[in-house]
Amino acid sequence: MSLVRFLARPMLASSFVLAGMDKLKNADDTAAQLSPLLRRAAESLPFQTNEKVLARVIGGTQIGAGVCFALGKSARLAATVLAVISALNGYVEWRSADISSKQGRDARRKQLLKNVSLTGGVLLAAVDTAGKPSLAWRAEHLAADARKGAGHLAADARKSTGKKLKKADKAVRRAVDHAVGA
């Protein structure tokens, strides 16, 4: 892992870990803020739950993904989870912000920009392969190598078959000449 990744991942993850801890500590406030979304989520789940429990689950998920990301364990998956959570937070905070005053609108804009920046950062981290080829690149090149190998095998088979046909043709002609001459 490069020095930049070693330093940047915990720096970026710290915001998510602290926000997740805040969500766990203040599950009632989080549930109230996320109420419209959590109510829909609770209705779509196949089991009974309440908004406070879902708020705690989101907080716990945010902490877990943040810690995994900071440690570099399944960093791309953790960054993807953090991106989803960050986008969710941005939407909820945008909807619930006080816009009755100029200061409220300014605070809303700053909070939105912070959430957009965090989402962008973890999205970049989600596609970071740490200098290694991605699975899609590997699969594409494996398929190309297989096609080349198959093409070479086919050419070798054609060449070998052609030589054997020529030998068989000569043998048949000799046999015919020998039979006609006898």
Is residue 27 within 8 A of residue 59, CB to CB? The reply is yes
Mean pLDDT for 36-53 is 75
b/e per residue 133-165 (b: at least 16 CB within 10 A) = eeeeeeeeeeeeeeeeeeeeeeeeeeeeeeeee
Contacts of 173 (CB under 8 A, 6+ apart): none
Reported confidence tier of residue 65, pLDDT bands at 50, 70, 90: very high
Residue 160 tokens, joined: 């070998």
Tell me the one-letter amino acid at 150.
A
**Cα(135)–Cα(174) distance, rounded to whole angstroms?**
58
61 has a pLDDT exceeding 90: yes
Tell me the one-letter amino acid at 83.
A
Cβ neighbourhood burial of 4 (10 Å; 0-12, 13-18, 19+) = exposed
Reported confidence tier of residue 83, pLDDT bands at 50, 70, 90: very high
Mean pLDDT for 94-120 is 85
Mean pLDDT for 29-46 is 76
Is residue 62 within 8 A of residue 17, CB to CB? The reply is yes
28 has a pLDDT exceeding 90: no
Residue 122: closest CA among 73, 56, 70, 64: 70
Which position has the higher pLDDT, 161 or 80?
80
